[in-house]
Amino acid sequence: MMKGLVSVSIGAVLILWTATLAAGPVEFHLGGGPSAASLDEINAAITQFNTLIELLNETFEALPEVEGSVETIGRMGSGIALQVGERFLLREHLTLGGTLDMSHTSASTAGTYVSSETSDILIALTCTDVGFIFGGRYDFLNAGLILSADVGIGYHYGTFRQAITFQVPPEFPAAIADLPPEGENRYSGFAPAVEAGLVLSFPLTDWFKVGSSVSYRFLTFTGMTDGQGNSLDLDGNGTPEKIDLGGITVELTFSMLIDLSLEGGKE
């Protein structure tokens, strides 16, 4: 899988390099902003964890010999996305290029119950992905502001990290089934992606633009594993979770047009 990703990346770089020599003007761009991903199966596991936490909080609130409480975990999916890349002019209003994308999201909670002994609960979950997208942009409206449509396909590498400590005070009156599996681990995998969106940009000069974009991507990791080949099973029910990072991203973008031909300068 790693060889495949390297081959795709090298091929895309060679394509862009060749096109740069042929076309001359190249648009370098970068951007960043908030993102939202589905992560349905991960959030289902978080809901189970929260049910246990709420049960412990309610039980120990009525027991004076136990102090402390634990906040529930927020929904996982909101995060930040960054992108950097370049595009070259294929024909009027149409550009092709490559973009390196990255996104990150996390969720966590921590708390302590103090009784005859100290019981800690710590749950920290993080998900990060990075990928290369090859695609095109078409400018279909230019009236001072430029409205464009983007579409691209690519390949992503993702990681999911978990750190879980779930200690139940001995004063809890009954045994609890389906406790979260404790420990720290890192899972990773590869997956194809499809992205599409709209971009509204404003030229400040003939070579520099600022703008904003709204995009949606389809990206699901179906088989993340750790270094020993074990599949991600966050809730410990024996069924591996899928990492669905499909969702919306809103970014502030900047782009600069540079002519890399022998006679060129900034366009």
pLDDT in tens, 34-82: 999 999 999 999 999 999 999 999 999 999 999 999 999 999 999 999 9
Say if residue 225's pLDDT is above 70.
yes
Least trusted range by pLDDT, from 83-87, 251-255, 260-264: 260-264
**pLDDT value at residue 4:** 42
Say if residue 243's pLDDT is above 90.
yes
Least trusted range by pLDDT, from 122-131, 174-183, 226-235: 174-183
Ramachandran quadrant class, 175 (left: phi over 0; alpha: psi -120 to 50; beta: rest): beta
**pLDDT value at residue 16:** 53
**pLDDT value at residue 267:** 46
pLDDT tens profile 112-171:
999 999 999 999 999 999 999 999 999 999 888 999 999 999 999 999 999 999 999 999
CA dist 160 to 66, 86, 184, Å?
34, 29, 11
Inter-residue contact 107 to 46 (CB < 8 Å):
yes
Inter-residue contact 221 to 130 (CB < 8 Å):
no
Say if residue 263's pLDDT is above 80.
no
- As a whole number, mean pLDDT of residues 207-235 equals 95
Range 2-258 has CATH code 1.10.8.60 = no
pLDDT tens profile 13-32:
545 554 545 456 789 999 99
Rounded to an integer, what distance in angstroms lies between the CA atom of residue 251 and that of residue 249?
6
Rounded to an integer, what distance in angstroms lies between the CA atom of residue 105 and that of residue 76?
7
In the chain, where the domains are located: 2-258
